[in-house]
Structure 1
């Protein structure tokens, strides 16, 4: 009986030591969607708000830039990226 209790106690202690996935990443550039912003002359850059405000790009317009109206600049896994929703992906495929 004591051995079973010790084994059970060991499992409880070990399971409590697992890293939690919902904790913010130390090297994350964003923690929420509010940390991200759109920049560039054509609004084609998704970056942190600070970077997006100061980024300088050429002022050209490519057909795929029109697809950006179908998506959002969001925080994904600690990085600002364009949300890969179905409408956006289909639009990108058609613009090629």
Structure 2
């Protein structure tokens, strides 16, 4: 388990709750990019697969938490995009 990997995931993960909250409250997709969210989501999937196949430790839960938050923001983006027409 690497302390640097943990710090990285905590720092990246700190931004997602605010992003999700803004998406939920504003009901707008403005300022968001679905392709950016998908790329970030794929990065977290790759991190989880790496932990699963090569170096399993508890950091996998931080990857999973971050992935869930990004997926939530992506779902809100899609939902809000539909409302915008």
In which range does the TM-score fall when normalised by the shorter chain? under 0.3
- Which has the bigger relative contact order, CA under 8 A and spacing at least 6? 2
Comparing both structures, which one devotes a greater share of its residues to strand? 1
Larger Rg: 1
Comparing both structures, which one devotes a greater share of its residues to helix? 2
TM-score (norm 2): 0.23
